[in-house]
Amino acid sequence: MATIYEVSRLAGVSLATVSRVVNNSDRVSARTREKVQAAMKELDYRPNSIAQSLATNRTNCVGVLVSELHGPVFGAMVSSIEKVLREAGKIAIFATGHNDRAKEEKGVEFLIDRSCDALILHIEALSDEFLQKCQASGAPLVFINRSIEGMEDHCIVLDNEHGGYLATKALLDLGHRQIAYIAGPLELGDARARLEGHKRALAEYGLAPDPALETVGDYHEAGGSRAMGELLDSGQAFTGVVCANDEMAAGAMSVIRSRGFSIPEDLSIVGFDNARWARYLYPRLTTVDYPVDQMGQMAGRWVLQNVYGLEGDPVQRAFRPELVVRESARAIGGDA
């Protein structure tokens, strides 16, 4: 691999001049520029990004910490973040936290150790204090789906409470009054918020939340199945169920079917996230859309603008989910 030195020799100029044309900044005479470019071409010169980083103290790397790298939500998030960063010539490096305190800390440290210029974090377990300290001592931080006290303008958030409200309201509007709820793990803020929304919708219709109709899952298929099984076993009557995410809804649907009920004739179901495959289910799942692509994009854009000083469209920080009506929920007493 040719170095800048060899280019400078071949072109008969100094290192500084070559560096100038590489960073096509500064004024370099047209003649010199051409000479240098010719030399670079001849040697197939490519700047060593490591050396550049050391000299400039800029790595052009953005660290991204998410719970998982794949799955309907995080896969899409990661993908959109990488895309917007890449288009600006920046590079994303990833770490996973699995909603675990220790792993999240390790992940953050890992990314900081790699000298990232900024960090995009989707985390659950780390305390506000830890994060404020990180921020103080190092790279700028952006948060997805979490609001940190005093750093609100670094947070790209989803109104999960509103989403939970919409999901349950969808069933209420269809005439359902006995509505079961399968929550996500309540140590997670979004799971709590979605549940709150559910309760607000009930309240709006003058219904008291019935603890017997409220179960907690794990955001995974297995938890959804288990929870659904318990609800069905409990003997409680209900005509609809809302699940705090699509994955659990998929698990619940299997169980409902395996018990001989049909959807939506016997039971309506509503999910949350609008996973790409939610419309592959049968019946196609009515759910709440989590605009995860957009939120990822905004996180990337925030970094581009606030860290790298690039221009661009404004960053939208707050998102409201919307209901996606499909066929898994229908009016009670509707023509079945």
Chain contacts with DNA (rule: CB under 7 A): 1, 3-5, 12-17, 19-20, 22-23, 25-29, 31-33, 45, 47-48, 51-52, 54-57
Q: How many CA atoms lie within 13 A of 72 on its CB side?
A: 19
Which range, of 16-24, 70-78, 156-164, 315-323, touches a second copy by CB under 8 A? 70-78
Residue in this structure with the two tokens 């500084």, named with its chain if needed: 16
Considering only residues 83 through 102, tell me which ones interact with a second copy, judged by CB under 8 A.
83, 86, 91-96
Q: Is 250 in the site for a second copy (CB under 8 A)?
A: yes
Q: How far is CA 53 from CA 57, 60, 115, in A?
A: 5, 8, 9
Give which of a second copy, DNA, none residue 96 binds (C-beta under 5 to 8 Å, depending on kind): a second copy
Contact status: 51 vs a second copy (CB under 8 A): yes
Which backbone phi and psi does 141 adopt, to 5 degrees? -120, 140
User: Which residues, numbered 271-290, are part of the site for a second copy (CB under 8 A)?
Assistant: 275-277, 280-282, 284
Whether 283 contacts 326, CB under 8 Å: yes
How far apart (Å, rounded) are the C-alpha atoms in residues 106 and 84? Answer: 26
Residue 135 found at the interface with a second copy (CB under 8 A): no
**What is the three-class DSSP state of 56?**
helix
Amino acid at 123: I
Indicate whether 6 belongs to the interface with a second copy (CB under 8 A).
no
CA–chain centroid gap for 9, Å, is 49
**How many CB atoms are located within 10 Å of the residue 205 CB?**
14
Q: What CA–CA distance (Å, rounded) separates 151 from 141?
A: 9
Verify binding: residue 320, a second copy, rule CB under 8 A. Answer: no
Q: Which amino acid is at 32?
A: T
Q: What distance in Å separates the CA atoms of residue 10 and residue 19, rounded to the nearest whole number?
A: 14
Q: How far is the CB of 137 from a second copy (least distance, A)?
A: 9
Q: Please report how close the Cβ of residue 318 comes to DNA at its closest, in angstroms.
A: 36
Q: Which does 221 bind (CB under 5 to 8 A by kind): a second copy, DNA, none?
A: a second copy
Among 53, 99, 135, 305, the residue binding a second copy under the rule CB under 8 A is 53
CB of 20 to DNA, least distance (A): 6
Residue 43 engages a second copy in binding (rule: CB under 8 A): no
> Assign residue 30 a region: left if phi > 0, alpha if psi is -120 to 50, beta otherwise?
alpha
- Which residues would be at the binding site for a second copy (CB under 8 A)? 46-51, 53-54, 59, 68-71, 75-76, 78-79, 82-83, 86, 91-96, 110, 112-115, 221, 250, 253-254, 257, 275-277, 280-282, 284
